[in-house]
Chain A
C-alpha cells in the first residue's frame, strides 16, 4: 500500500512513525510505503521518462520551465501531482501484478481538490494534439473510474467545515464523474447526555451529595463535573452540523473520535482502530 502526501510537509510519514520522506517511496511499516510529492520532482521524472532528459539543476534553462509549470498556469501544476499518482497506479511488477494494491492520498484542501482532480479534463479542452493528449486521457480515465478511485471528503462538526464539505459533495455529484467514498467526520466527541449519564452528573453536582462523593472521588468532584459539562456542551454544539452533514451526504458518514495524543503512530493506530470498529 502507498500513502501519498501532496504538500510535502512530512506530516504523513511522521503519523506513520517515520521521519519525513521524499519523492521515492519509502517502506515505513509492513506493506505500507509513503511518498511525498513535489511538482519539481514530478516534472523532472516526467522529462526523464518521456524525453530522456537527465535531472537538471536550478541553474539550467529547464529550471525556468519548472518555474513556469509549477507556479504558472494551474492545470500543469495539478497535472504533475495527479499524473504522478496515475503513474504509480500504472506501475507493475515483473510478473505484471500491480506494485500497489491501494494508494491513499492525503490530498489538498476541499477548496482546491476539484481543480486538481479535474485538471486532466480541463487541460484536454485546451490540448487537442501532441503526446500530452493521450496522457491526459489516461489520467482522466483513472480519476473518473469508480472502481479505481474514490474521493473521501473529511469534515469537522463545525459550521464552515460542514458547509465546505457539502459544497464539495454537491459539486462532485453534479458536475464531475468522480466517485465518492465514505465521508469522515473527524474529531468527534462521545456523547455524555444519555439519561443515566445526565442523572449521574446531577448527583455529583448536587451539594447534598458532595461529601459522600468526595469519599470516593476525592476533592476534585467540582472540577470533574465542570469538565464533563464542557464535553457535553462541545458535543451538543457540533451535533446540528453533524446531523446536517449526515442528512445531505449521499454516502455514509463515518465518525472518527477525537484523540488527544500527539500526532504519531500511536494516534494513527488509535484512529485506525476506531475505524475498524465502525466496520
Chain B
C-alpha cells in the first residue's frame, strides 16, 4: 500500500497526534528522536489547550538546560510559557518536561508487587537486583514503559509524549513488558529457587543436570545466594504479569499512537523499516513517520550538478578564470565542485529513500528539513516544532 508524502495540504504532526493521550516516538539512535519528541510536545501545546508532558530519556545537556531540566531524576518541570513565546512559540496549553529515572521506576515496581515490606527490602538491597535493574536487557525499555503507564494512570496530563531509549535493538521496548514478566516467571528461575528451599535432592529431575552445570560454573556458594534472590523475585510474578498485560493493552489501544522517527541515512532508514513492520506485527498503532534532516531539493537540480562537474575539472576552472578575468585556483575550484557533488549525491539518495518510504508506509510522512545549527536552545526547538 502506498500514500503520497506529506504535501502542503497534509496536516502537521501535531494535528495528527495531538488528540491522543500517549504518543510514543521511536527510532534508532542518533536520528534526533529526543529533540523531535520535545519539539512535538511543544507543537501540541502550541496548537491546543492541552497539558502536555514530554518524558525524555537522555537529552543533550544544552537542550535539557533549555527545557529547564538539570539532571536525571529531576522532578517534572513546566517550561515557562513566556520563554517559549519569546522564542516564537506562544502556547495555548502547557508544556511540562521530565526525564526518566530508571532506578526509581524499578524500585517502585518492587515495592508495589512485593508481598510485604520485608521481601521488598531484601530484593532492593540484593546485589543481583542492582545488576538487573541497571543493565537487564530491556530494563531501560521496561522502565520507560512503566513510567509511561504510571503517568497515564495518574491522568495529570492530557497528552504524554514519550521519547524511547536508544536500545541495542531499538525495538526492545515494544516487547519489554512481556519480556520482564517472562523473566521474573521463567521456569529456570523456579529451578534455581527450589534448592535453597527444598535442598538439591528434592528438586525436579529435569533440573538436576542444569544445576550441576550451574554448580560447576558458578560454585555452590554463589548458586545458593542466587537461589535465595530468585525465590524472593518470584513473589513479584503475579503483580508484574498483571502490570505487563495492562501496559501491553495500553500500547495497543486507540488512545496511543506511535511515531517512527528516522533519517534517510541507510542504517537508520533500514531500522525504521523494521520498526514499521514490527509495529504492524504487534498491532501497535503507527500514526506517522517523521523523516528528519532532509536535504533541500535544490541539491538535485541538474543544471547545478552539471556546473559542479565543470568546476571540479581543472579545464573548467581555467575557462572560468578566463571569462571572469581573474586567477581561479583550480584546486579550490575542484574542492567546491566536489563538495556540491557530495551533497547532491546525498540528496539524490534521500529522494530515492523517500520514494521507497512512500511504498511501505500507509500513514502520513512528515519531512523535517536539515537545520545546520545544532538544536540546543528553545529557539532551535521552536524551529523544529514549526516543521511539525
* Complex interface: chain A residues within 8 A of B134 (CB): 74
Query: With A and B bound together, what is the CA distance between A262 and B188 in angstroms?
Result: 45
Query: With A and B bound together, what is the CA distance between A218 and B307 in angstroms?
Result: 6
Judging by beta carbons under 8 Å apart, are B138 and A218 in contact? Answer: no
Residue of B183, B267, B301, B335 near A71 (CB, 8 A) is B183
Mark interface residues in B278-321 (1 if CB within 8 Å of A CB, else 0).
00000000000000000110110111111110110000100110
Mark interface residues in A125-168 (1 if CB within 8 Å of B CB, else 0).
01111111100000000000000000000001011110100000
Query: With A and B bound together, what is the CA distance between A234 and B320 in angstroms?
Result: 26
Residue of A122, A163, A200 near B336 (CB, 8 A) is A200
| Cβ of A199 to closest chain B Cβ, rounded Å | 8
Judging by beta carbons under 8 Å apart, are A224 and B311 in contact? Answer: yes
B114-142: which have CB < 8 Å to A? 127-128, 131-132, 134-138
B387 sits at the interface (CB 8 A): no
Residue of B60, B166, B326 near A159 (CB, 8 A) is B60
B131-159: which have CB < 8 Å to A? 131-132, 134-138
A112 sits at the interface (CB 8 A): yes
Query: With A and B bound together, what is the CA distance between A65 and B266 in angstroms?
Result: 36
- For A160, give the chain B residue with the smallest CB separation: B60
A252-273: which have CB < 8 Å to B? 258, 260-263
B8 sits at the interface (CB 8 A): no
Mark interface residues in A53-82 (1 if CB within 8 Å of B CB, else 0).
100000001101101101111110100000
A49 sits at the interface (CB 8 A): no
* Complex interface: chain A residues within 8 A of B219 (CB): 127-130, 132-133
Which of A88-96, A175-183, A188-196 lines the interface with chain B?
Answer: A188-196
Query: With A and B bound together, what is the CA distance between A227 and B346 in angstroms?
Result: 12
Mark interface residues in A196-207 (1 if CB within 8 Å of B CB, else 0).
110011010000
- For A196, give the chain B residue with the smallest CB separation: B332
Judging by beta carbons under 8 Å apart, are B304 and A227 in contact? Answer: yes
Judging by beta carbons under 8 Å apart, are A216 and B323 in contact? Answer: yes
Query: With A and B bound together, what is the CA distance between A160 and B60 in angstroms?
Result: 6
Residue of B61, B169, B266, B345 near A7 (CB, 8 A) is B169
A27 sits at the interface (CB 8 A): no
B66 sits at the interface (CB 8 A): no
Residue of B135, B221, B374 near A74 (CB, 8 A) is B135
A228 sits at the interface (CB 8 A): yes
| Cβ of B142 to closest chain A Cβ, rounded Å | 12
Interface size class of A (residues with CB under 8 A): 35 or more
* Complex interface: chain B residues within 8 A of A173 (CB): none
| Cβ of A144 to closest chain B Cβ, rounded Å | 20
Query: With A and B bound together, what is the CA distance between A192 and B337 in angstroms?
Result: 10
* Complex interface: chain A residues within 8 A of B189 (CB): 68
**Total CB contacts across the A-B interface at under 8 A:** 203
Query: With A and B bound together, what is the CA distance between A61 and B338 in angstroms?
Result: 60
* Complex interface: chain A residues within 8 A of B323 (CB): 212-213, 215-216
Judging by beta carbons under 8 Å apart, are A163 and B373 in contact? Answer: no
Query: With A and B bound together, what is the CA distance between A53 and B209 in angstroms?
Result: 11
B30 sits at the interface (CB 8 A): yes
B82 sits at the interface (CB 8 A): no
Query: With A and B bound together, what is the CA distance between A156 and B340 in angstroms?
Result: 21
Judging by beta carbons under 8 Å apart, are A64 and B186 in contact? Answer: yes
**Taking each of B168, B169, B346, which has the highest tally of chain A beta carbons within 10 Å of its own beta carbon?**
B168
Judging by beta carbons under 8 Å apart, are B374 and A237 in contact? Answer: yes
Judging by beta carbons under 8 Å apart, are B320 and A217 in contact? Answer: yes
Query: With A and B bound together, what is the CA distance between A243 and B303 in angstroms?
Result: 36
Given contacts A189-B339, A237-B373, contact A131 B183 (CB under 8 A): no
Judging by beta carbons under 8 Å apart, are B221 and A227 in contact? Answer: no
Given contacts A192-B339, A209-B324, A231-B343, contact A223 B303 (CB under 8 A): yes
Residue of A7, A130, A226, A237 near B372 (CB, 8 A) is A237
B333 sits at the interface (CB 8 A): yes
Judging by beta carbons under 8 Å apart, are B344 and A227 in contact? Answer: yes
| Cβ of B312 to closest chain A Cβ, rounded Å | 11
Residue of B135, B266, B307, B374 near A224 (CB, 8 A) is B307
A277 sits at the interface (CB 8 A): no
Judging by beta carbons under 8 Å apart, are A64 and B188 in contact? Answer: yes
Given contacts A194-B332, A223-B307, A231-B343, contact A72 B374 (CB under 8 A): no
* Complex interface: chain B residues within 8 A of A232 (CB): 339
- For B206, give the chain A residue with the smallest CB separation: A61
Judging by beta carbons under 8 Å apart, are B340 and A109 in contact? Answer: no
B216 sits at the interface (CB 8 A): yes
- For B63, give the chain A residue with the smallest CB separation: A159
Judging by beta carbons under 8 Å apart, are B166 and A200 in contact? Answer: no
Judging by beta carbons under 8 Å apart, are B62 and A65 in contact? Answer: no
Judging by beta carbons under 8 Å apart, are A223 and B349 in contact? Answer: no
B83 sits at the interface (CB 8 A): no
Judging by beta carbons under 8 Å apart, are B132 and A7 in contact? Answer: no
* Complex interface: chain A residues within 8 A of B340 (CB): 224, 227-228, 231
Residue of A67, A111, A196, A222 near B166 (CB, 8 A) is A111
* Complex interface: chain B residues within 8 A of A161 (CB): 30
Given contacts A74-B131, A131-B216, A189-B342, contact A227 B299 (CB under 8 A): yes
B203 sits at the interface (CB 8 A): no
B329-363: which have CB < 8 Å to A? 329, 331-333, 335-336, 338-340, 342-346, 349
Which residues of B are in contact with A by a Cβ distance under 8 Å? 29-30, 60-62, 127-128, 131-132, 134-138, 166, 168-169, 179, 182-183, 186-189, 206-207, 210, 213, 215-222, 266-267, 295-296, 298-299, 301-308, 310-311, 316, 319-320, 323-324, 326, 328-329, 331-333, 335-336, 338-340, 342-346, 349, 372-374, 376
Please name the 4 residue pairs, one residue from A and one from B, whose CB atoms are nearest each other, closest first. Answer: A223-B304, A220-B303, A129-B219, A260-B345
Given contacts A74-B131, A126-B127, A159-B60, 13 further A-B contacts (CB under 8 A): A7-B169, A67-B188, A71-B179, A73-B136, A130-B222, A133-B219, A158-B374, A197-B335, A197-B336, A220-B306, A223-B307, A224-B340, A230-B343
